[in-house]
Amino acid sequence: MRKVVDLKTALSCALAIAMASGSALAADVSRAPAGTADGAAIETITLKNGAGVSAKILTYGATLQSLSGPGKDGQIADVLLGYDDLKDYVDHPNFFGVTVGRYANRIAGGKFSIDGKSYQLPLNDKVNSLHGGGKGFDKQVWKVVSLKSGSKASLVLGLTSPDGDSGYPGKLDVTVTYTLDEAGNLGIAFDAKTDKPTIINMTNHAIFNLQGEGSADGAMGHLLTIPAKAYTPVDANLIPTGELKPVEGGVFDFRSARRVADGLRDGRDAQIIAGRGYDHNWALDKGATKTPQLAARLEDPVSGRVLEVLTTEPGVQFYTGNFLDGTFIGKGSHVYRMGDGIALEPQKFPDSPNKPNFLSARVDPGKPYHHEMVYRLSVAR
């Protein structure tokens, strides 16, 4: 039987030693200049705990630039694909680790309606609006609202999105709160208030390789579990058909841990062909919940690193980096290719505003939007 050693257990031992010596461990926060974008000064905020887990966040795009933690050999590695420099996030955007909004994933034709009024969003994904369209939250400068160190380090970033921003109705006041505790849980909470009925669906778009970004093996040897009996099939434009299709017995069945690569090249499944791999939403068995619950578990047998993704939302988009084509030069001058990373994006279902049978993404004045998710790192031995 494989023994799972989570970072909370490891830290408890370290904490006991620290207390015996008269000191105590805590999670710290620090800030440093990162450059400029849109004429504004951008900062890098680092959250770090005593167990060796750290996260770097850029105020540009409220972007999770890196997430680092130890493997079973004790070596620290950055497990996020991305760039070393701010300039590349500005000049070569590819959603690496960004905060996605106003609406994550795709909206068919960029069209939706609220109370009989139609709205048109910019089309930035062939015939669809993707991840907010236009100048989404990932391309905007966020302000530091607060920083805090302690048993849980935190960073709150704020943004005001005006009425009509990228075609969406309503003025939004938005915050993203990053927290890191002593057990290695990186929490991300998204909150927004609107002055008009609108739609909101926010998430983080981190792309993971638990061996360490840029590793020669890529991420397709990782073992994935998704607690979902059904997923949402897509059409040729990657828009859900509206069906909830059972996963049982097929390449979309991840209810027990399976190697990602095993189903990735199965040309007998039309959905794999449509997505150029996995680029689909799973309908989580748990549905929408008040507190974050498990959406996915990813394990790298080589490094022993385990990532658990928890969320309050009803779906998770699993994406195998199908559009990484070797033209993106990432951290350490690594060339990113198809299969070099995995995204697990908690969310409401894609195109929910046009699918009455999907959970509504509507948000009204006086009823704020809230999504809470967690990236939990641990080590399996």
Predicted confidence at residue 195, as pLDDT, reads 98
Q: b/e per residue, 289-312, with b = 16+ CB within 10 A?
A: eeebbbbbbbbbeebbbbbbbbbb
Q: Is the pLDDT of residue 250 over 70?
A: yes
pTM above 0.95, yes or no: no
pLDDT in tens, 161-217: 999 999 999 999 999 999 999 999 999 999 999 999 999 999 999 999 999 999 999
Q: Walk me through the domains of the chain, giving residue ranges and CATH numbers.
A: 4-380 (2.70.98.10)
Q: Is the pLDDT of residue 228 over 70?
A: yes
Residue with tokens 């994933």: 105
Q: Specify whether 345 is catalytic.
A: yes
Q: What is the mean pLDDT of the chain?
A: 93
Tokens, residue 4: 């799972």
Predicted confidence at residue 135, as pLDDT, reads 92
Q: Is the pLDDT of residue 23 over 50?
A: no
Predicted confidence at residue 25, as pLDDT, reads 62
Name the active-site residue from 131, 345, 371, 372.
345
SS3 per residue for the chain:
CCCEEEHHHHHHHHHHHHHHCCCCCCEEEEEEEEEEECCEEEEEEEEECCCCCEEEEECECCEEEEEEEECCCCCEEECECCCCCHHHHHHCCCCCCCEECCECCEEECCEEEECCEEEECCCCECCEEECCCCCCHHHCECEEEEEECECEEEEEEEEEECCCHHHCCCCEEEEEEEEEECCCEEEEEEEEEECCCEECECEECCEECCCCCCCCCCCCCCEEECCCCEEECECCCCCECCCCEECCCCCCCCCCCEECHHHHCCCCCHHHHHHCCCEEEEECCCCCCCCCEEEEEEECCCCCEEEEEEECCCEEEEECCCCCEEEEECHHHCEEECCCCEEEEEECCCCHHHCCCCCCCEEECCECEEEEEEEEEEEEC
Mean pLDDT, rounded, for 262-284? 94
Q: Is the pLDDT of residue 1 over 60?
A: no
Tell me if 132 sits within 8 A of 172, measured CB to CB.
Answer: no
Predicted confidence at residue 265, as pLDDT, reads 84
Give the torsion sign (CA, 288, 292, 298, 301): negative
pLDDT in tens, 96-120: 999 999 999 999 999 999 999 999 9
Strand-pair partners of 371: 190
Give the torsion sign (CA, 286, 287, 291, 292): positive
Q: Specify whether 372 is catalytic.
A: no
pLDDT in tens, 345-373: 999 999 999 999 999 999 999 999 999 99
Strand-pair partners of 298: 224, 307
Predicted confidence at residue 315, as pLDDT, reads 98
Tell me if 163 sits within 8 A of 126, measured CB to CB.
Answer: no
Predicted confidence at residue 358, as pLDDT, reads 98
Tokens, residue 212: 């360490």
Phi, psi of 263 (to 5 degrees): -110, -5
pLDDT in tens, 28-70: 999 999 999 999 999 999 999 999 999 999 999 999 999 999 9
What strands lie across the sheet with 40-48, from one edge to the other?
28-37, 40-48, 54-58, 63-70, 76-78
Separation CA 66–CA 257 (nearest Å): 26
Separation CA 157–CA 175 (nearest Å): 5
Mean pLDDT, rounded, for 156-162? 98
Q: State the pLDDT confidence band at 134, using cuts at 50, 70 and 90.
A: confident
Q: Is the pLDDT of residue 18 over 60?
A: no
Separation CA 186–CA 12 (nearest Å): 17
Tokens, residue 262: 């095993």
Phi, psi of 90 (to 5 degrees): -80, -45
Name the active-site residue from 43, 182, 205, 313.
205
Q: Is the pLDDT of residue 24 over 60?
A: no
